[in-house]
Protein backbone atom coordinates (compact mmCIF):
# COMPACT_ATOMS: atom_id res chain seq x y z
CA UNK A 1 0.00 0.00 0.00
CA UNK A 2 1.48 3.33 -1.08
CA UNK A 3 1.74 6.30 1.25
CA UNK A 4 -0.19 9.45 0.36
CA UNK A 5 1.90 12.21 -1.17
CA UNK A 6 2.08 15.20 1.26
CA UNK A 7 1.37 17.69 -1.54
CA UNK A 8 -1.86 15.78 -2.30
CA UNK A 9 -2.83 16.14 1.35
CA UNK A 10 -2.15 19.89 1.04
CA UNK A 11 -4.35 20.11 -2.06
CA UNK A 12 -7.13 18.20 -0.31
CA UNK A 13 -6.96 20.55 2.70
CA UNK A 14 -7.04 23.59 0.41
CA UNK A 15 -10.09 22.32 -1.49
CA UNK A 16 -11.90 21.38 1.73
CA UNK A 17 -11.17 24.84 3.16
CA UNK A 18 -12.57 26.52 0.05
CA UNK A 19 -15.71 24.37 0.30
CA UNK A 20 -16.16 25.46 3.93
CA UNK A 21 -15.73 29.15 3.00
CA UNK A 22 -18.34 28.76 0.22
CA UNK A 23 -20.69 27.01 2.66
CA UNK A 24 -20.24 29.88 5.14
CA UNK A 25 -21.04 32.40 2.41
CA UNK A 26 -24.19 30.47 1.51
CA UNK A 27 -25.37 30.08 5.12
CA UNK A 28 -23.74 32.78 7.26
CA UNK A 29 -23.60 32.37 10.99
CA UNK A 30 -22.19 28.87 11.37
CA UNK A 31 -18.61 30.19 11.62
CA UNK A 32 -17.34 27.32 9.49
CA UNK A 33 -15.50 29.95 7.50
CA UNK A 34 -13.08 30.25 10.42
CA UNK A 35 -12.31 26.54 10.22
CA UNK A 36 -12.18 26.82 6.43
CA UNK A 37 -9.53 29.52 6.75
CA UNK A 38 -7.42 27.18 8.88
CA UNK A 39 -7.78 24.40 6.30
CA UNK A 40 -6.79 26.77 3.48
CA UNK A 41 -3.70 27.91 5.39
CA UNK A 42 -2.67 24.32 6.08
CA UNK A 43 -3.36 23.36 2.46
CA UNK A 44 -1.17 26.15 1.11
CA UNK A 45 1.64 25.23 3.49
CA UNK A 46 1.24 21.56 2.56
CA UNK A 47 1.48 22.34 -1.15
CA UNK A 48 4.40 24.78 -0.88
CA UNK A 49 6.36 22.87 1.78
CA UNK A 50 5.17 19.24 1.51
CA UNK A 51 8.17 17.97 3.47
CA UNK A 52 6.78 19.65 6.62
CA UNK A 53 4.00 17.04 6.80
CA UNK A 54 6.64 14.28 6.96
CA UNK A 55 8.67 15.90 9.75
CA UNK A 56 8.40 14.98 13.43
CA UNK A 57 7.30 18.53 14.32
CA UNK A 58 4.36 18.48 11.88
CA UNK A 59 1.85 18.36 14.77
CA UNK A 60 3.32 21.54 16.24
CA UNK A 61 3.27 23.23 12.83
CA UNK A 62 -0.38 22.23 12.30
CA UNK A 63 -1.41 23.58 15.72
CA UNK A 64 0.46 26.89 15.31
CA UNK A 65 -0.73 27.52 11.75
CA UNK A 66 -4.31 26.55 12.61
CA UNK A 67 -4.39 28.76 15.70
CA UNK A 68 -2.92 31.76 13.85
CA UNK A 69 -5.20 31.42 10.84
CA UNK A 70 -8.29 30.98 13.01
CA UNK A 71 -7.34 34.04 15.05
CA UNK A 72 -6.87 36.03 11.85
CA UNK A 73 -10.26 34.84 10.53
CA UNK A 74 -12.05 35.72 13.78
CA UNK A 75 -10.53 39.22 13.79
CA UNK A 76 -11.49 39.62 10.11
CA UNK A 77 -15.09 38.57 10.79
CA UNK A 78 -15.31 40.95 13.77
CA UNK A 79 -14.08 43.84 11.65
CA UNK A 80 -16.37 42.85 8.80
CA UNK A 81 -19.36 42.65 11.15
CA UNK A 82 -18.95 46.15 12.59
CA UNK A 83 -21.56 48.53 11.30
CA UNK A 84 -22.89 51.89 12.29
CA UNK A 85 -25.77 51.62 14.74
CA UNK A 86 -29.12 52.27 13.14
CA UNK A 87 -31.35 55.06 14.37
CA UNK A 88 -34.24 53.76 16.43
CA UNK A 89 -37.35 55.46 17.71
CA UNK A 90 -35.60 56.10 21.01
CA UNK A 91 -32.58 57.80 19.47
CA UNK A 92 -32.48 60.70 17.07
CA UNK A 93 -36.15 60.52 16.14
CA UNK A 94 -37.32 61.43 19.68
CA UNK A 95 -34.92 64.33 20.21
CA UNK A 96 -36.91 67.56 20.25
CA UNK A 97 -40.26 65.87 20.90
CA UNK A 98 -42.37 66.79 23.89
CA UNK A 99 -44.14 64.52 26.32
CA UNK A 100 -45.67 64.30 29.76
CA UNK A 101 -44.11 62.94 32.96
CA UNK A 102 -45.97 59.83 34.18
CA UNK A 103 -43.66 59.00 37.09
CA UNK A 104 -41.53 61.63 38.83
CA UNK A 105 -38.10 62.04 37.30
CA UNK A 106 -35.22 62.03 39.75
CA UNK A 107 -31.85 63.49 38.75
CA UNK A 108 -29.52 60.91 37.18
CA UNK A 109 -31.94 58.04 37.88
CA UNK A 110 -33.96 55.84 35.54
CA UNK A 111 -37.03 55.66 37.77
CA UNK A 112 -38.83 58.39 35.84
CA UNK A 113 -41.27 57.61 33.04
CA UNK A 114 -42.47 59.87 30.25
CA UNK A 115 -45.08 59.42 27.55
CA UNK A 116 -44.03 60.59 24.09
CA UNK A 117 -46.31 59.98 21.11
CA UNK A 118 -48.29 57.26 22.91
CA UNK A 119 -45.10 55.43 23.92
CA UNK A 120 -43.74 55.22 27.46
CA UNK A 121 -39.98 55.63 27.97
CA UNK A 122 -37.65 55.54 30.96
CA UNK A 123 -36.31 59.03 31.46
CA UNK A 124 -33.70 60.95 33.37
CA UNK A 125 -32.87 64.61 33.82
CA UNK A 126 -30.40 66.89 35.59
CA UNK A 127 -33.12 68.14 37.94
CA UNK A 128 -36.20 66.67 39.59
CA UNK A 129 -39.32 66.93 37.43
CA UNK A 130 -42.68 66.15 39.06
CA UNK A 131 -45.43 63.97 37.62
CA UNK A 132 -47.69 65.77 35.16
CA UNK A 133 -45.11 68.28 33.91
CA UNK A 134 -44.45 68.75 30.24
CA UNK A 135 -40.96 67.78 29.11
CA UNK A 136 -38.85 67.92 25.95
CA UNK A 137 -36.38 65.22 24.88
CA UNK A 138 -32.92 66.77 24.62
CA UNK A 139 -30.84 63.61 24.20
CA UNK A 140 -30.85 59.86 24.63
CA UNK A 141 -28.59 57.32 26.28
CA UNK A 142 -28.99 53.65 25.50
CA UNK A 143 -32.63 52.76 26.07
CA UNK A 144 -33.77 55.88 27.89
CA UNK A 145 -34.36 59.51 27.05
CA UNK A 146 -32.85 62.57 28.68
CA UNK A 147 -35.42 65.32 29.16
CA UNK A 148 -35.78 68.84 30.43
CA UNK A 149 -38.91 70.52 31.71
CA UNK A 150 -40.78 72.75 29.31
CA UNK A 151 -41.42 76.01 31.14
CA UNK A 152 -44.85 77.66 31.14
CA UNK A 153 -43.43 80.64 29.24
CA UNK A 154 -42.35 78.35 26.39
CA UNK A 155 -45.78 76.71 26.29
CA UNK A 156 -47.50 80.10 26.23
CA UNK A 157 -45.23 81.32 23.43
CA UNK A 158 -45.96 78.20 21.39
CA UNK A 159 -49.70 78.64 21.94
CA UNK A 160 -49.45 82.15 20.55
CA UNK A 161 -47.58 80.83 17.49
CA UNK A 162 -50.11 78.00 17.14
CA UNK A 163 -47.54 75.23 17.69
CA UNK A 164 -49.22 73.65 20.74
CA UNK A 165 -52.40 71.63 20.67
CA UNK A 166 -54.94 73.13 23.09
- For 95-149, write each residue's pLDDT tens digit: 888 999 999 998 888 889 999 888 888 899 999 999 999 999 998 887 788 899 9
pTM exceeds 0.75 for this model: no
Whether the CB-CB separation of 127 and 135 falls below 8 Å is answered with: no
Q: Residue 144 burial (CB < 10 Å; 0-12/13-18/19+)?
A: middle
CATH node for 92-161: 2.40.50.140
Give the residue-averaged pLDDT of 45-69. Answer: 83
Domain layout of the chain by residue ranges: 6-81, 92-161
What secondary structure letter does DSSP report for 105? Answer: B
C-alpha–C-alpha distance, residues 126 and 113, integer Å: 15
Which carries the bigger pLDDT value, residue 49 or residue 130?
130
Amino acid sequence: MAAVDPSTVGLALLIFGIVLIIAEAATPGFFIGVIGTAFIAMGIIGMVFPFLFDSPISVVIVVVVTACSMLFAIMFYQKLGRTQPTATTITESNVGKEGIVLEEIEPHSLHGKVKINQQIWSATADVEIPKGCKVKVIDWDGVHVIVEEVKEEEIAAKKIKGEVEV
